[in-house]
């Protein structure tokens, strides 16, 4: 018989693995970060590729590793949980206790329903708003990311700009009918939002927003304005907190900014590095998930093989326990501000048109001389952005093309190493 043993990954060089990836997967990868770097392991705020090259890691798994890679406390509970079985398709104690902690922490949450990804959570949140209001349209903001559903992929990163409120599909395969159900407005522009809500309130189920959109902070009064407008016109307010939940504060961005939505979605941090996300709202709104609580035409079916998975829930409970400890958020903000301030000082000594945009838990350097207030003003010079990210990777700093995530595990030594690498990379960029 032929040898059917699957090769050990460690028996391959990085170049060999890259070649296999390009042969067996579209674009040579999973559809996420497309660098030809094969990560082998992580610890705290660092990762190593299969060749042993070490990086300070500001990807942190695109956000979920907020207490660091291979955190020993999280690892311990996961190993204990896995030894008892991986999943059951029934209620489990870890998932129930995670739901209770979320309800205790998040202002808009009286009840929670778990799913496996942020994309699922966002799609269900939109459907929930439609079920509750009996109206079909959703208003979102240009450049806002709400997952990979057909509805979420309207005007996330439009290659052509349209007149508001018309949205642009970001992917092939999206039906034209979906485009008609989404209204699009510029972020941080209350005047446009209010005009659109007044015009469409009889068919508008909800406004869906990232309270901190990608890297763009809300202007003072913007979130408060969304809350006022939605209440005045009988429209629900959804906060997509898949990214910001438990990152800006223990109660999420709604605690950080002091504005409570009707519905929120959560992900990343609450799964501790495992696939888990959630929809949360009042008991009245969440009743649509309970066939015994609403009429047949108001019931929302929701089933997921791994929803509330006990391993993910156990990791999430321990992650939230760590974040709840005194000083956790102060440390995250201190590390983030140190990097932001350092970047700003270094760039100020050059003639580069660049600025640091965001807030301490997540930010980036944009090559622009504009004030960044919405999607259209957030465009960074693509050539300089790509080259700068290459220079940073070559100096042992790993990040996405458009964001630094700061974790509880990053240290002052990491900040110093990063600032040294940044100064050298900027110097090289200026010389080129």
Rounded distance, CA 249 to CA 323, Å?
9
What local confidence, expressed as pLDDT, does residue 9 receive?
60
Of 88, 99, 82, nearest to 306 by C-alpha is 88
In which band, very low, low, confident or very high, does the pLDDT at 162 lie, cut at 50, 70 and 90? confident
Domain ranges of the chain: 9-62+327-431, 73-323
Which one-letter DSSP state was computed for residue 5? P
In which band, very low, low, confident or very high, does the pLDDT at 161 lie, cut at 50, 70 and 90? confident
Region 7-19: mean pLDDT is 80
* CATH architecture, domain defined by 9-62+327-431: Alpha-Beta Complex (3.90)
What is the CATH T-level fold of the domain 73-323, as seen in this structure?
Answer: 3.40.640
String of DSSP letters for 306-327: TTT-HHHHHHHHHHHHHHTSTT
What local confidence, expressed as pLDDT, does residue 159 receive?
83
Straight-line distance from the first to the last Cα atom of the chain, in angstroms, rounded to the nearest whole number: 57
In which band, very low, low, confident or very high, does the pLDDT at 370 lie, cut at 50, 70 and 90? very high
Q: Is 401 buried (19+), middle (13-18) or exposed (0-12) by CB count in 10 A?
A: middle
Taking phi over 0 as left and psi of -120 to 50 as alpha, with beta for the rest, 257 belongs to alpha
Region 202-211: mean pLDDT is 98
Region 130-144: mean pLDDT is 98
Report whether 109 contacts 275 (CB < 8 A): no
Tokens of 407: 């974790």
pLDDT(268) > 70: yes
Beta bridge partners of 47: 42, 55
- CA torsion angle 134 180 141 171 (round to 10): 120
Beta bridge partners of 138: 182, 206
Region 387-396: mean pLDDT is 98
Region 258-283: mean pLDDT is 98
Question: Comparing 9-62+327-431 with 73-323, is the CATH topology the same?
Answer: no
What local confidence, expressed as pLDDT, does residue 362 receive?
98
Report whether 198 contacts 233 (CB < 8 A): yes
Region 166-191: mean pLDDT is 95
Tokens of 53: 């090259």
pLDDT(349) > 60: yes
Beta bridge partners of 185: 141
Rounded distance, CA 307 to CA 98, Å?
12
Rounded distance, CA 264 to CA 254, Å?
9
- Write the pLDDT tens digit of every residue in 414-425: 999 999 999 999
pLDDT(1) > 50: no
Report whether 248 contacts 361 (CB < 8 A): yes
Rounded distance, CA 320 to CA 323, Å?
5
Catalytic residues: 145, 240, 268
Over its C-alpha atoms, the chain yields an Rg (Å, rounded) of 22
| pTM across the whole model | 0.95
């Amino acid at each position: 018989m032929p040898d059917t043993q699957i090769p050990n990954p460690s028996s391959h060089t990085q170049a060999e693995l890259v070649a296999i990836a390009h042969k067996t997967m579209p674009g040579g990868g999973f559809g996420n970060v497309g660098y030809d770097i094969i990560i082998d392991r992580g610890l705290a705020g660092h990762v190593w590729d299969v060749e042993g090259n070490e990086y300070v890691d500001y990807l942190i798994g695109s956000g979920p590793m907020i207490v660091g890679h291979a955190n020993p406390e999280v690892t311990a509970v996961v190993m204990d949980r896995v030894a008892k079985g991986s999943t059951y398709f029934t209620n489990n104690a870890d998932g129930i206790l995670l739901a209770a902690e979320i309800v205790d922490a998040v202002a808009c949450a009286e009840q929670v329903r778990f799913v496996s990804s942020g994309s699922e959570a966002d799609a269900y949140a939109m459907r929930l708003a439609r079920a509750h209001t009996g109206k079909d349209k959703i208003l979102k903001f240009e450049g806002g990311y709400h997952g990979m559903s057909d509805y979420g992929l309207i005007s996330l990163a439009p290659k052509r700009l349209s007149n508001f409120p018309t949205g642009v599909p970001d992917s092939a395969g999206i039906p034209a009918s979906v485009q008609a159900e989404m209204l699009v407005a510029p972020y941080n522009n209350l005047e446009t939002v209010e005009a659109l809500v007044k015009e469409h309130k009889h068919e508008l189920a909800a406004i869906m927003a990232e309270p901190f959109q990608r890297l763009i902070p809300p202007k003072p009064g913007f979130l408060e304005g969304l809350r006022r407008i939605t209440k005045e016109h009988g429209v629900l307010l959804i906060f997509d907190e898949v990214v910001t939940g438990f990152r800006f504060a223990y109660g999420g961005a709604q605690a950080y900014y002091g504005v409570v939505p009707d519905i929120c979605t959560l992900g990343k941090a609450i799964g501790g590095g495992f696939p888990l996300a959630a929809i949360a709202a009042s008991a009245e709104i969440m009743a649509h998930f309970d066939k015994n609580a609403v009429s047949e035409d108001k019931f929302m079916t929701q089933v997921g093989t791994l929803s509330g998975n006990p391993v993910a829930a156990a990791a999430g409970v321990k992650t939230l326990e760590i974040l709840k400890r005194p000083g956790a958020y102060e440390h995250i903000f201190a590390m983030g501000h140190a990097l932001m301030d350092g970047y700003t000082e270094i760039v100020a000594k050059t003639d580069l048109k660049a600025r640091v945009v965001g807030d301490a838990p997540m930010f980036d350097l944009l090559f622009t001389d504009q004030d960044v207030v919405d999607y259209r003003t957030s465009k960074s010079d693509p050539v300089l952005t790509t080259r700068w990210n290459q220079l940073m990777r070559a100096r042992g700093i790993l990040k996405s093309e458009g964001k630094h995530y700061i974790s509880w595990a990053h240290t002052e030594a990491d900040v110093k190493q990063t600032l040294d690498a940044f100064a050298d990379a900027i110097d090289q960029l200026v010389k080129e």
